[in-house]
Chains A and B, each alone.
Chain A
Amino acid sequence: MNFLRDPIDRLAIALGLLLAAAASAAAWRASVPHPAALAPPTAAQLWQRHCAHCHERAELLSTLRSSVAFDQAEKLTEFLATHGRANAIEDRIIAEELSLEIHR
């Protein structure tokens, strides 16, 4: 352990351990999902994420009301499976929300 006699070597080892601890802490923090991410997203959040940049809400609801093809949430979910980038669960949430509003 001759190298440990040099204070510069001891400093380098201490810095290495400190940086390793910081890297581990950052990795652990990043690997744990954020509490907000654990909760299912709300329909409003999903609308903003997947729909709002292409559709105007009132206009879309009006179109859906006039179409028998989308009078049930299941039919809407089926359509969304081939439309947009949301996953199946998100499609379902969006479809149920829109369906509720159509029939309100």
Chain B
Amino acid sequence: MTAQSDGRGGVWLTAYVALALLPMAAAGVARADSEPLRFASELAVTTGFVAFALLMLELPPISRLRHLSDRFGIDRLMRFHRAMGVVALVFVAAHIWLAGGRWTRSGAIAFGSTLLLVATSIGRRTLHLPYEAWHLLHVLLSLTLVPALLVHLFTARGTPPPRALALVIGAYGVAFVLLMVRDRIARPLWLARRPWEVVANRAEGGDTQTLVVRPLGHRGFDFGPGQFAWVLTGRHPLLAEQHPITFSSSAERPPDGSIELAIKALGDWSGTIVPALRPGARLWLDGPYGSLTTDRIAAQGFVLIAGGIGITPMLSILRTMRDRGDRRRVVLFHAARNRQRMVFAAELAALRRTLDLRIVELFEEAQAGAEEGFIRAELLRRHLPPDVRHDAFLACGPAPMLDAVGRALADVGVSPHQLHTERFDLMS
């Protein structure tokens, strides 16, 4: 569900702004009796406190807090995290410039860490940084940045901050440490006691594998069709690589609690480690997460738009509708580069026998008997049912495709509130 559609996004945004301004306000109160400085010097102080709060607020959106991820979707939270990181860097730069270039060692370390965090995230692909190396660097830089920030705030003026301000700053530091411990230590240790076992590993064509996994010694978890889990592989969850993977199986799980995950080879992990997983191999699932699920959307029918491996949440939705005897109308726009790259086409065609399902195949390269090109308004007009005012539109695929889908749907008069999206490449 989108933040805009349920009205509570405003509450979260208000809370975010309040937390971004709280240290600055506390500093203002604490310094009320001090001699006023000139405007530029006061602005150096206020931008510094806003920069501090923004940097500390970078952690919650990516901390797998279920309230946040279920409401906004993990891809939006990741994009928000990245965009606000750039905003924080602007405030840090303004703080340094306004302070007249007076450097402290802790301040220089904090600035260097922030700059590297933002630069390596924006330029990861240009720098040819593998995801795993980038992720490790990101964590290490964060663990350098936060202590440096706290030391800077406590020592930059030569005297410790007043008690009330110190308490506010300390609370942000404690919250950061608690979230880090929860995500990096407590949760992996909890997951270690709930392993999953690979039952089968099928090649689906189009560089895609389906992993069938079942819970070992526990009942696993229920999920909504369209949701995903972080898949952890390695010797122990504390040291494991983890990647977000959408469930492709029905949310109506079989008695053994098994779950299927469809994984396309997009990098080292998905291209080499996943295909090498044999039956009996152990892994861990941290989930479910995600807002793109039909279980939370009230609609008379669905229009599903999938690009590439973005078909996996749609497959889970359709398999779940089949198992639940759900006969609501579904139109599926299934886009791929060519027929060879299109996965699950045969099963989707078979689902038409049990569901009220219409499939529109769309290829970038011309294919006999199929639509060609990208999602566009003219194509939607030809294939959409006459009245879709009470239908929900779910789209999953690469960012450029989702941008095009948003524009095309707006052109045919679909309200933005009807559209629910998730980008499968979170680090694009």
Binding site for B on A (CB under 8 A): 5-6, 8-9, 11-13, 15-16, 18-20, 22-24, 26-33, 37
Contacts and interface: CB of A to CB of B under 8 A. Distances in A.
A28 B39 contact: yes
Contacts of A33: 36
A27 B31 CA distance: 12
Which 10 A-B residue pairings sit nearest by Cβ, starting from the closest?
A12-B83, A27-B42, A27-B43, A23-B46, A16-B87, A8-B79, A31-B39, A30-B42, A31-B42, A27-B46
B76 A15 contact: no
B54, B83, B86, B399 interface centre (most CB from chain A within 10 Å): B83
A12 B86 contact: yes
A97 to B, nearest CB: 23
A26 B45 CA distance: 10
Nearest to B37: A31
Contacts of B94: 20
A67 to B, nearest CB: 35
Contacts of B399: 6
A16 B90 CA distance: 9
A26 B46 contact: yes
B263 interface: no
Interface residues of B, number: 34
A9 B83 contact: yes
A27 B86 contact: no
A5 B43 contact: no
A31 B21 contact: no
A32 to B, nearest CB: 7
Given A15-B17, A19-B91, A27 B45 contact: yes
Contacts of B41: 31
Interface in B21-56: 21, 24-25, 28, 31, 36-39, 41-43, 45-47, 49-50, 54
B165 interface: no
Contacts of B91: 16, 19-20, 23
B87 A12 contact: yes
B403 interface: yes
Nearest to A9: B83
A39 to B, nearest CB: 15
Given A19-B20, A31-B36, A31-B38, A24 B43 contact: yes
A30 B37 contact: yes
A15 B21 contact: no
B355 interface: no
24 contacts: A6-B83, A6-B403, A8-B83, A9-B83, A11-B83, A15-B16, A15-B17, A16-B90, A19-B17, A19-B20, A20-B47, A22-B21, A22-B24, A23-B43, A23-B47, A23-B49, A23-B91, A26-B28, A27-B46, A30-B28, A30-B42, A30-B45, A31-B38, A37-B36
Interface centre among A6, A11, A23 (most CB of B within 10 A): A23
Given A19-B87, A27-B39, 13 more contacts: A8-B79, A8-B83, A15-B87, A16-B91, A20-B50, A22-B50, A23-B43, A23-B46, A23-B91, A24-B43, A27-B45, A30-B28, A30-B46
Interface in B43-89: 43, 45-47, 49-50, 54, 76, 79-80, 83-84, 86-87
A12 B80 contact: yes
Nearest to B2: A7
Interface string B216-250: 00000000000000000000000000000000000
Contacts of A19: 17, 20-21, 50, 54, 87, 91
Nearest to B24: A26
Nearest to A24: B43
B253 to A, nearest CB: 33
A7 to B, nearest CB: 9
Contacts of B24: 22-23, 26
A83 B418 CA distance: 76
B426 to A, nearest CB: 13
A97 B49 CA distance: 43
Contacts of A26: 24-25, 28, 42, 46
Nearest to A23: B46
B54 to A, nearest CB: 8
Nearest to A18: B17
Given A22-B21, A22-B24, A28 B80 contact: no
B17 A32 contact: no
Which one of B87, B90, B91 has the greatest number of beta carbons of chain A within 10 Å? B87
A23 B87 CA distance: 14
A26 B94 CA distance: 15
B404 to A, nearest CB: 10
Contacts of B28: 26, 29-30
A33 B33 CA distance: 10
